[in-house]
Amino acid sequence: MYRASFTLISFVLAIDLTASGRSEGMKVKGLSQSGLDVRAAVEFLSTSPLSKLPLFLFGHSWGAYGIAASLNFTDRPLAIFPMSGFTEPFEVMTELVKSKVSLGVEMTEPALKAAMAKRDSEYAFLSGKQGIEKAQGVYCLLIHGDHDDTVVPRASLFHADYSRNGVEKYLMEGRGHGDVAASMESIAYIKQVKAANLPLYEAYKRNPSRMSPGERAEFASSFNKMLTYVPDEALFQRILDIADKLGQASSYATF
């Protein structure tokens, strides 16, 4: 299915961001927290027995912004793979508000900026785009769906202009925000499941938690979960090819 000649022992570290899962903290200070948490994870790896392994960062949405923003502090990764990422917190928040309220948004921007600066201090406007520009030696594969209406072009890492080499853009046609890495067959199957369960979907799409245990069990048994998110083979083969090439060429590969 996927081919990769990269033969080093590899590890995957999946992190819980601050105040999420098993991580400490009562709350996040803002969207910029993602970049700071990824920086902490990279610093941890750099002082661990895994420090000599090639490092690649992969993230989606808020996580995609986080791995790009972390490059403001480190150029340790050989490559990053941000999917559906946004450039910076203020841009994506402004665009999301505009999608809900068509008039008067510009009038609220100064107040929003002031509130973010007060809450998030020096990192309120930490930029993923600037991180990518700063880390000249880090290869970047920017992945985005052409139907993404959550991270719109003005706010996306994918649609930003870059003045450096080593930035590749990979457009996923027919994909949105949540299914950006899914195969078209998987997307078609999800549509089929929704159509078959349309009354249930319409009744609970705004509040799935209201579904009764019986309805939930019946719905779960009506489809094959393994088919609901089959990854796009060409995309992940491209990711593996990049990791293979950079990993084999890296000085970290000999230890």
Taking only the tens place, the pLDDT of each residue in 48-87 is 888 888 999 999 999 999 999 999 999 999 999 999 999 9
* 167-172: strand order across its sheet: 56-60, 79-83, 139-145, 167-172
Q: Which of 13, 64, 78, 76 is nearest to 35 (CA)?
A: 64
Question: What tens digit of pLDDT does each residue of 126-182 get?
Answer: 999 999 999 999 999 999 999 999 999 999 999 999 999 999 999 999 999 999 999
pTM of the model: 0.85
